Chains A and B, each alone.
Chain A
Amino acid sequence: MSEDLGERLSRFTPDRGGLDRDSLLFAAGRASARPNRRWVALAGLLAASQVLTLALLLPRPVPPGVVPVANAPAPAALAAPPENPAPPPDEALAAWALWQRHAAGQTELPPPRPVASLRPDAPPLHACLALSEVFPQ
C-alpha cells in the first residue's frame, strides 16, 4: 500500500510557480551570446588613424628667419596692366568708315596690328598644393 500511496502522490503535478519556459529560453540565449569585440577594435583603429592624420596635417613651428611664403609669381607679373588708352576720335572715325566699307563689300579689313601692352601669362593656379610647397624643408 505504501507503493500505492507513492503512486497516488506522484500523480500530483508540481506547480511551476513563476517559472516561464519562454523567458528562460530568452535568458539562456542572451547569456550564451559571446561578446563581439571586433567593432571595438575597428573603432580604435579608425580613431588612431584619425589622430595620425591630424598630427601630420597640423602646422609645424617655423624656424626663426624663415618666412613661410609659398612660391608666388614675380611681383612684376602681378602688376596691374597698363591702361589701354582710348583711341583718338579721328582714329575711331576712320575705323568706323573702314567697317562701313567692309560691310558694303568695297574693301577688305587690314590685318590686326600686334599689341605690345598685353600682360604675360601667369602660372596656372591649383586647388591643392604639394606638402613640400606648404611646408618647405
Chain B
Amino acid sequence: MMTPQDFGRLVERHGPPLVLYARQWCRAPEDVVQDAFLKLFAQRPPPQEVVPWLYRVVRNGALDAAKLDRRRQRRESAVARPARWFVEPEVDGLDADAAVAALQRLPPEQREVIVARLWGGLSFEQIAGVAGCSASTAFRRFSAGLDALRRALGEPCPKTSAND
C-alpha cells in the first residue's frame, strides 16, 4: 500500500522527467502525467515496477493526446507559447535551447529512448518494455540518438578525440 509520503516522493522524483517524456508527443504533458499518477494511486494491486508502469501509461496517454493536439495545432499554432523543457538555461557549456532544438530534430523513437534513459533513469530492459521493442534495439536507438545529438551540438566525436 502506497502512503501519501511515498506518493509525494514519487511525484517529486519522477514527475518532471515524465513531463519531459510526455512532451515528446503532446502539448499538455502535465495533464497526461497527472492522469498517470492518479491511475497509479487507484491501481489495486499496485504494479510491481512502478516507474516503468508510469512511463508506459504516460506514453499511451501522450500518444492519445497527440491525436487531439493535431486537430487543434493548426488553429493555435500562431498564438502558442513556447514550452520550456529544462530549468537551467545552460549546463556545462551546453545551451538549453540548442539541446532542445537538437532533441526535437531527433527521430521520435530515438528521442523517446534518450529521454527515458537520461532523465528517467530507466534501464534498457525497462525502456524496451515501455517502447515495445527489444533491449538491444533500445540500446541501438540510444547510441544513434546520442551520435545525432553530438553532431547537432558540435561536440567532438569520441573516437576522433581519442585518436587526437
Give bound CA distance, A101 to B17, whole Å. Answer: 121
B20 at the interface (CB under 8 A from A): yes
A-contact bits for B124-162, CB 8 A (1 contact / 0 none)? 000000000000000000010011011001011110011
Known: A2-B146, A5-B149. A12 touches B38 (CB 8 A): no
Contacts of A11 in B (CB 8 A): 88, 91-92
Stretch at the interface among A27-35, A44-52, A77-85, A105-113: A27-35
Surface stretch bound by A, among B6-14, B48-56, B60-68, B70-78: B6-14
B155 x A15 contact (CB < 8 A): no
Contact at A12–B150, with CB atoms within 8 Å? no
Partner of B146, one of A5, A14, A16: A5
- Min C-beta distance of B64 to chain A, whole Å: 18
Return the contact of B16 from the options A5, A16, A24 (Cβ within 8 A): A16
* Residues of the A chain whose Cβ atoms lie less than 8 Å from the Cβ of B7: 25, 28
Q: Which of B23, B30, B37, B119 contacts A10 (CB 8 A)?
A: B119
C-alpha gap A3/B150 in the complex (Å): 10
Q: Residue A104 at the B interface, CB < 8 A?
A: no
Q: Is B99 interfacial (CB-CB < 8 Å)?
A: yes
Q: How far is the CA of A74 from the CA of B63 in the complex (A)?
A: 94
- Docked Cα-Cα span, A12 to B100, in Å, equals 11
Number of interface residues of B (CB under 8 A): 47
Contacts of B94 in A (CB 8 A): 8-9, 12
Residues of B within 8 A of A10 (CB): 118-119
A1 touches B156 (CB 8 A): yes
Given A31-B38, A31-B41, the answer on whether A17 and B30 have CB atoms closer than 8 Å is yes
Contacts of B4 in A (CB 8 A): 25, 29
Closest B residue, CB atoms, query A21 = B11
**Closest B residue to A8 using CB positions:** B92
A19 contacts chain B at the CB level, 8 A cutoff? yes
Q: Is the CB of A1 within 8 A of B87?
A: no
| Closest CB in chain A relative to B82 CB, distance in Å | 12
B15 and A16 contact, CB distance less than 8 A: yes
Does A21 lie within 8 Å of B158, measured CB to CB?
A: no
Instruction: Tell me the complex Cα distance, A32–B34, Å.
Output: 14
B17, B84, B118, B157: most-surrounded residue (chain A CB, <10 A): B118
Give me the 4 closest cross-chain CB pairs, A-B, nearest first.
A1-B158, A14-B20, A14-B16, A12-B86
Residues of A within 8 A of B (CB): 1-6, 8-19, 21, 24-25, 27-29, 31-32
| Sample of 19 A–B contacts (CB below 8 Å) | A1-B157, A5-B149, A5-B155, A9-B99, A13-B16, A14-B87, A15-B87, A16-B15, A16-B30, A17-B83, A18-B30, A21-B8, A21-B15, A25-B4, A25-B7, A25-B11, A27-B38, A31-B41, A32-B42
